[in-house]
Structure formats: structure tokens, C-alpha cells
Amino acid sequence: MPRFSDTSLQNSKPSLDRKSRIKDPKNIKRAVDPAALEMLDYTTENNIITAFDRWSAQQPQCAFGYQGICCRICFAGPCRIKGLEGPGSMGICGARDYTIVARNAIRMMAGGASAHSDHGRELVEVLYHMSLGKAPDYEIRDPDKLYRVAKKIGLETEGKTDLELAKEVALAAFEDYGRHTSDKCRFLEANLCEKRIKKYEETDVFPRAIDREVVEVMHRTHVGVDADPVNIIFGGIKCSLADLTGEQISTDISDILFGTPKPVMSEANLGVLDPDKVNIIVHGHNPVLSQMVVDTAREMEEEAKAAGATGIQLSGICCTGNEVLMRNGVPIATSYMAQELAIATGAVDVMVVDVQCIMPGLRNVAECFNTKLVTTMSISKIPGAYHFAFEDSKAKQSAEAVIRLAIETFKVRKESGRPVQVPKFKNKLMAGFSLEALMDLFAAINPDNPIKVLTDAIDNGEIAGVCALAGCNNLEAVYEKNHTEILKELAKNNVFMVGTGCVMQAAAKHGLLTYEAVEEYAGPGLKAFIDRLYEANKDKLPDKLPLAFHMGSCVDNSRIFNLWTAMANEYGVDVPKVPFVATAPEGMSEKAVAIGTWVISNGIPCHVGAMPPLEGSNLVWSVVTCIAHDVFGGNFILETDPQVAAKKLLAALEYRAWKLRIHKKAAEEYGTELCQAF
Ligand code: BF8
Ligand code: SF4
């Protein structure tokens, strides 16, 4: 029986009810990462408080907030939905559970869209300033990408210098943030397939300008504006597509400025820290600073050696770590939830942070050690941390100051003679799979039509389809357990996997971004496919190919969007017919909510393995898990058990692949057009 005939795998309710989800709140060792487990013993022995202790202290968490039925939108509240009937079933203003849940959810999307898009805006500003000669430390490292992006968004490229074109691309991107007309966001329209453009026009969710859609969400969710849950959610979808626009801009411009990633080898986990070197961790998201630190550190090795170090050891946490891993092979220290544990090793001299996913708790841990925590962005400061204001006009100078502070701190650390506790665990990895790099691998087999290598492998059943792994860590799950279990289960079932963000850091730390993992976990079809790709490309690759393909930071989910769009165009169908699924096994942030929403509105089923605050309204729940599928072709699969989640993802994927095969066969047999229904 095909898996998708099993109706239990189509049940929109998670297999564990709310109360059974959290097992032992007293056990803080909620991790499968051996380095994190070792460090948790050490922090417990030494009374160092981290997120793991604070998670325990927060249990049981507020059930109203957990389900999304707490409203704090005005200060007549807070209001909670206390039952199904009577005055307590509504907020003071009369808002019902569905209004409150929907409003809270789309405010999360607006938060996520703001974060991703402001990150993109910083990059556009650097590109613009560079084109005017006002950011002299930056350059165009990938002029081909500049031309490709310019062409794609409809700019005339003939007869223009790189700098002239860079300025025009920057101005076009600025327009996507602040257009006053009702025209469409250009960076989004240029990357969608035609059928999706039509779908977004019909449903009135095409974003006009990023900032405008965020503002509209904040307006429509103000006290006494939109109370219709479906209308509210459609407003959220429009904002999530503005988020996607911001992500596309971020990726495109990062590649133009810093280079488009190519396959690269590196290592991951706390064992990458070297006590004899000056250890600098870059943490946050924006490559404008971290890339400059990487470039400058190379020039300052001798200064570090003069201070008694054997060199400078850079490593990364979160997505800025992914940015410099993808382009420079800088090792990954750890992922979001273990960021404080990195400092608790005592071996970190400077942790330099920019924006997003930076725990305020870092400062308390840094205080216990010789570590300097350095903030760099005016919107992201932490009391007690050093603040070195970063300016793109003096980028190199800022990076030098940070590195010099680290060298000075190293000297103090060595003189103090204080022992360090660096876990030995680390694994090698291969990363650097931009869409261009992936297409390049396919092109070695089919130079005329590279994407057909992937779609053919699905059509002939060699692989089951594609799954995108994305998102965060959340201690509602056991740290990195959902990530690794789902990844292994999908591999066993021949799913080709791409991914971004903290999931891929988990995969890397557990040795899953290696060929050894292909040998251990891949099903026969997936192994044959990966082997074939390697054989065709072995002259230009640094090693054999990995089990899953790391495509970058969370904004680089735009690369994944570009991948499924290329597949849809190749099949001649709309995205919902493409055998593609997505998962955020340990989703946490508002950014993840925005991403998940544009994933489903692109027409892709999206699993989330930590429960978003939606359970308080059956109506909203059914809109996002069922009705979204009828309208857009994608829906959320909310499931906290990783084994059941993997089965649900496989069922959704196999159903799509099976249906597409049947429709293709029918079209061939009867000489008709390929059925477009989903
Ligand atoms: O943007 S995966 S915890 S680091 S939010 Fe944050 Fe989540 Fe990690 Fe990257 Ni994305
Ligand atoms: Fe309560 Fe309505 Fe104010 Fe929300 S907006 S806090 S439900 S009165």
C-alpha cells in the first residue's frame, strides 16, 4: 500500500497531544549533540546558566500563549480566551479565538519579514554606496551574477560598466522596499513561474513593496481593524511574500558583493576551537561585517603570532556563520541553541555579533570567562557588551579593531593560565551549494538542460523527490534530534535533500554533510544519484558529495525557491505539482513563520516540528493545514514526533510524485495537455 493511502498520515492533528509533548522538565540535557552534552555537564557543575536551564525554569509554559489565544495588542488587555461560550470566550473588544490567533500569527510574519528584509536592505545600501565610491572596502566579486540579476529584473545591461549596473540594481531593489504605486515587487515577479504570478494576482496577495506590506499587517492587526481570520491570513500571506522578496534581494546582492558559493570543505562543532589560537566567533546574520572580518583576519595572522598565538581561528554560529562557511569554508562552531555553550568553553576570545538570533544570555556567560562580547549594529546592543559601531565606509577599520581586541584578549587568557574546556567533537563537511553550484553539477551530465537531471531522476523513481530542510532550534524538541532523525529517515527513503540555516549546522555537526553519511544512510536510489553526480564532476570537486546539500543561510531559502521554480518550469506545471516538500524540524523564530508561510503559498507542503501558537483556533488551524492546500497547493504539517513527521513528509512527497507520473502518462497516452490540477 502506498504510504499516502494511510489516512493517519494525512491527519492534520499532531500525533502527540499538547500535554504529552513535554517529557521531563527537570532534565536539562535535552540534546543529542555530544559536544553540547559535555558542555551541559560542565556548565551545571560550574553553575553557569544557559538556555537549557532557563527552558527548565520556564516550565510549564503558559498554555494560553502556547496556543496563540493571549492578546496583548491593546492595553485594555491582556485578554485570554477562556472557553467556547459566554463573555470569557472573547477578548474585551469582542475579538474571538480565530481573530486573536490569526492576528498573532501574522504579526509574527511581519516580524520575520522585517528581519530578513532589513538584512537585505543593509546589503543594498552597501552595493549602492560602493557604486558611488563611498564604501571603498567592498567590491563586486561576481560580476556575472550582477549581469544575470540585472537581466532577470529587466534592466538594460548593454554598454554599462559594472559600477553603473550595480547602482541600477541597488536602485531597483530600493524600489521594491518603498514603491508608492500598486505595481508588483520586481525581485519576486522576476523569479516566479507564470502560474504562480497568476495565482497571486487572483488571490490578491502579490506584494507591492516590502515596507508597505509590513506596515499593512501592523495596521490591519491594530485594535478594532481586521477581525476576519481568513482576510487576516491572506494579509499575512502577502507579507510573507514580501519576506521572500527581501530574501531574494539578500541572496542576490550577497553573491554579487562576496561571490556566489562553490563546493567547499570545512568542519563543524565546538572541537573547531583551538585554545592555542586567537579564537574569534562571528555570530548573527549579515555578511557585510563577517565577510570583512574573514578577509581582514587573513592579513593579521602575523600580529596574532607576535602575541604568542599559533594563528587566528575563525568560526561561526547561526547564519552569518553559514555565509562565511559557504564562501570561505570558515568552520561552524555550533548552532543557535548552543551559542552560550561556545563561550562556556573559555576558549573564545571575541564573539562578534550583528543582528538576529543573538541571545541576550550570552553576556552573562561571557562575564564568567575571559570572553569579549562585541555588538556592532546600532539596532542590536546588549547591556554590558562592548559596542564597536560598524560603518560600511570604514568596514576594514572596524574589522581590524575587532581582531585587535581578540589578540589582546588572547594574551590575557594565556597569561591567566585558566584552563579551557573544549570538547573534542567535530566533523568534516562539504557545503557551498548555491543554485549555480548545484546546476553546475547537473550540467556535467546534461549541459543543455541541467535541471532535467533532477526531474528525470524523480520521473524514473531513482529518487523520491526533493525535501528542503530549514529553520532553527527549539527546546520544545530535543536539541538537534528532530533535525538528524528526519534527515536520516528521508535519506533512507531516497529523498534528495537541500537545506539552510541551523538545520544544516546540525547536519554538519553530526557528520551528515559527508560522503560517509551517504554510505551509511542513503537508500540505493539516492546513493546511485549522488554517485553519478560525483562521477561526472570529480575533477572539479574537493571531495565526494554529501548526503544533503547545504545551500546557505536562512535568507538563502530563496535559492531553494529558485530550485523548485526551475523544476516547475521544466515539468511545465505550477509549483504544487512538483514532488517537493519542506521541513523546519525545530522551528522557533518569527522569520521561520514568514518562511513557512511563503513556502506553503508557493504550493509546497511544509512540516514544522515545534508547535507554532495556532492550536487555540480550530478555524485558523484548518485554514493553514487544509484550506491553504485547496487555494495555494501547499499546507502546514504540524507534527512534533520526528519519526511520524518523516512518514508524513514521505507520504506527501510520494503522493505528488505518483500523481505527476500518472498525469504525465495519461498526457502521453492520449496526446493531451499535461493535467494542471493539484
Ligand atoms: O536565520 S535557523 S535560529 S540562525 S532564524 Fe536563527 Fe533559526 Fe538559526 Fe539563521 Ni534562521
Ligand atoms: Fe483584548 Fe481586544 Fe485589546 Fe486584544 S485588542 S487585548 S482582545 S481588548
**227 within ligand 2 shell (Cβ under 6 A):** no
Say how far apart CA 565 and CA 194 lie, in whole Å.
Answer: 10
CA of 501 to the centre of ligand 1 (A): 6
Q: Which ligand minimizes its atom distance to the CA of 76?
A: 2
Neighbours of 537 (CB within 10 A): 17
Is any ligand 2 atom within 6 A of the Cβ of residue 71? yes
Cα-to-centroid distance, 90 and ligand 2 (Å): 9
Give the distance (Å) from ligand 1 centre to CA of residue 420: 28
Residues in the chain: 678
What is the C-alpha end-to-end distance of the chain, expressed in Å?
22
Per-residue three-class SS string for 114-146: HHHHHHHHHHHHHHHHHHCCCCCCCCCCCHHHH
Ligand that comes closest to the CA of residue 335 = 1
* Ligand 1 mean position, distance from CA 61 (Å): 22
**Do 70 and 79 contact (CB within 8 A), yes or no?**
yes
Q: Which atom of ligand 2 is nearest to the CA of 224?
A: 5
CA 142 remoteness from chain centre: 23
Q: How far is the CA of 89 from the centre of ligand 2 (A)?
A: 12
Distance in angstroms (rounded) separating the CA atoms of residues 555 and 593: 13
Q: How far is the CA of 106 from the centre of ligand 2 (A)?
A: 16
**Cα-Cα-Cα-Cα dihedral of 136, 142, 148, 153, to 10°?**
-30
SS (H, E, C) 486-553: HHHHHHHCCEEEEEEHHHHHHHHHCCCCCHHHHHHHCCHHHHHHHHHHHHHHCCCCCCCCCCEEEEEC
Q: For residue 371, give the 3-state DSSP assignment.
A: coil
The residue ranges of DSSP E strands in 227-311, in sequence order, are 264-268, 278-283
pTM score, whole prediction: 0.97
Does residue 225 line the site of ligand 2, with CB under 6 A?
Answer: no
Q: Which-ligand-closest: CA of 225?
A: 2
The pLDDT of residue 19? 85
Query: How far apart are the C-alpha atoms of 291 and 127, rounded to whole Å?
Result: 14
Across the chain, which has 678 residues, the per-10-residue mean pLDDT values are: 80 88 86 98 97 95 96 97 96 98 98 98 97 96 98 97 98 97 97 97 98 98 98 98 98 98 98 98 95 95 97 98 98 98 98 97 95 96 94 93 97 94 98 98 98 97 97 95 98 98 98 98 98 97 98 98 98 97 98 98 98 97 96 97 97 95 93 90
Closest ligand 1 atom number to CA of residue 336: 3
CA-nearest residue for atom 7, ligand 2, is 91
Relative to the CA of 473, which ligand 1 atom is closest?
3
Q: Is 156 left (phi over 0), alpha (psi -120 to 50) or beta?
A: beta
Taking phi first (over 0 means left), then psi (-120 to 50 degrees means alpha), and beta for anything else, what does residue 224 get?
left
State whether the beta carbon of 49 lies less than 6 angstroms from ligand 2.
Answer: no
Contact status, residue 308 vs residue 411, Cβ threshold 8 Å? yes
Nearest ligand to the CA of 557 is: 1
**Ligand 1 proximal residues by C-beta, below 6 Å:** 285, 318-319, 336, 357, 471-472, 501-502, 553-554, 588-589, 591-592
d(CA 280, CA 294): 10
Query: What pLDDT shows up at residue 1?
Result: 65
Which residues are CB-contacts of 338 (< 8 A; sequence separation ≥ 6)? 31, 33, 35, 36, 39, 270, 473, 479
* Residue 524 dihedral angles phi and psi, to the nearest 5°: -60, -35
Residue 537 · residue 526 · CB < 8 Å: no
Choose one of 69, 75, 79 to mutate for the ligand 2 pocket test, by most ligand atoms within 8 angstroms of C-beta. 79
Say how far apart CA 513 and CA 506 lie, in whole Å.
10
Alpha helices (H) along 155-209 = 162-178, 186-189, 194-202
- Amino acid identity of residue 110, one-letter, is A
Protein residue with its CA nearest to atom 3 in ligand 1: 472
Q: Is 93 in the pocket of ligand 2 (CB under 6 A)?
A: yes
User: Reduced to 3 states, what is the DSSP secondary structure of residue 677?
Assistant: coil
